[in-house]
Amino acid sequence: MDHYDIAVIGSGPGGYVAAIRSAQLGYKTVIIEKYDTLGGTCTNVGCIPTKALLDSTHHYAEAQHKFKEHGINLEEVKLDFLQMYRRKSDVVSKNTAGLDFLMNKNKITRLKGTAGFINNTTIRVINETEVKTITAKHYIIATGSKPSTIPGVEIDKKRIITSTEALSLKEKPESMAIIGGGVIGVEMASIFNRIGTKVTILEYADHLIAAMDNELGKTLQKILKKEGIDIRLNQAVYKVENSGSTANAFFKDKNGTEESLEADYILVAVGRSPYIKGLGLENTDVELDSRGFIKVNENNQTSVSTIYAIGDVIGGAMLAHKAEEEGVYVVETINGQKRHIHYNRIPSVVYTWPEVASVGYTEEELKKNNIAYNIGKFPFSASARARASMDMDGFAKVLVDPKYGEVLGVHIIGARAADLIAQGVIAQEYEVTAEDMFRISYAHPTYSETLKEAYLIASGQGAVNI
């Protein structure tokens, strides 16, 4: 029986980062993954392949609709659907190869198989050819999540699919209905709408990306609708049917009015659930909450002090970078270091175009908690850089404490918002004031100047640049 200092179960962003940091600190480390490739959902069937397709389809849409105004005339723009998907797969392969390199470089033992606890101190790893039993001083559970569904909707992976199956289609669908207008739903809608698929979003809430600042969701809705996506809000889907060559969704609005919709595929994007199948937690003293997530304390320890859990499997924001932060945090805590994670300072991003990004408090949260704030809001349409690139949709909005100038929240919908939000994270993490943020120099012309102007406005001054 082999013994390790730290055993990591799951190789997604939280797991592989935890394993690497563990090895860097000198611990004998093993990482256990049941699939052939490392990287988990994010690298293989989530963040990375989705972004590859979002970029490819964005280029295709730009060539169709904007190149002519830039003075670039193409006789004919053709879509090679299979090549687009091949490129996506190649991007994934290069990322997983990079993870293999990092495991070898850091001398991390890699075991392929399903890990299940025998008791609080021992796990069994089973694969197609062998059964291995190992022990470790500390365990880190990083098994992630799987797509959820709702009552009346059974995912058959044929006509009723999730984003995972959507990333492996063999031909372009003519139509698609997406249940859910959250991050995954709107990103999938963007991908397929751009290549000519008739896309309908069925969302239960009264605006898109409901977990983010309301104004972001409402603005994104207008933009996606302008691009041709049919968005139906306040709709409760209660049944779907696979009809063979198509599928049907049945739904009703808040007044009970029923409708149905036929499409080539029904894509279910209603969130994700913790993946704990086969972990053998019933053989341990690890506790779950009412929704099946693993309970942890402020140090990410479960009810067994030597077993930790991170990432999607413990709930909260299901973000790759949140899992990474927790992976490093746990290992450094084991190492005796004193760190802290400010969950309100972890950014959220939607990779539509324009992109949407947010960090800190939303307006709705500040109002609910009776926290005073000033708003600074500046449109991309007034940005010289945005006009030059024809990316004028959106705005930058900052929420600032009126007394001390503390930055309470930053919300952006616009070109390169995913990159711009890092500035807002810095402002919050180091408690930099709005005045500090507008007094630093910004290169001109850049998209980042929209933030400078927003900070100026929130501080009671007018905009000074375009």
Active site residue 411: no
Question: Which is nearest to 18 in space by CA: 33, 2, 3?
Answer: 33
Cβ neighbours for 21, distance < 8 A, ≥ 6 positions apart = 327, 328, 331, 332
* Integer Cα distance of 348 and 370 in angstroms: 23
Cβ neighbours for 99, distance < 8 A, ≥ 6 positions apart = 11, 16, 37, 38, 39, 43
Q: How far is CA 389 from the centre of its chain?
A: 26
DSSP H or E run through 103: helix 81-105
Backbone angles phi, psi at 331, to 5 degrees: -65, -45
Catalytic residue among 65, 70, 342, 444: 444
Give the tokens for residue 400: 């600032």
Q: Residue-wise over 223-245: b if at least 16 C-beta within 10 A, else e?
A: bbeebebebebebbbeebbeeee
| Long-range pairs, 428-433, Cβ under 8 A, ≥24 | 428/342, 428/344, 428/345, 428/359, 428/360, 429/342, 429/345, 431/406, 432/407, 433/404, 433/405, 433/406, 433/407
* Integer Cα distance of 159 and 165 in angstroms: 10
Cβ neighbours for 336, distance < 8 A, ≥ 6 positions apart = none
Q: Compute CA distances 141 → 5, 24, 410, whole Å.
A: 14, 19, 32
- Do residues 451 and 410 touch, judged by C-beta distance below 8 A? yes
* Integer Cα distance of 222 and 225 in angstroms: 5
Task: Give yes or no for a cis peptide into 49 (omega within 30° of 0).
Answer: no
Q: Compute CA distances 292 → 180, 295, 310, whole Å.
A: 21, 9, 14
Say what the alpha-carbon torsion angle 375, 380, 381, 385 is, to the nearest 10 degrees: 140
Output DSSP code: residue 26: T
* Integer Cα distance of 79 and 391 in angstroms: 23
Q: Compute CA distances 101 → 10, 31, 48, 142, whole Å.
A: 17, 14, 18, 20
- Residues annotated as catalytic (active site), given as ranges: 444
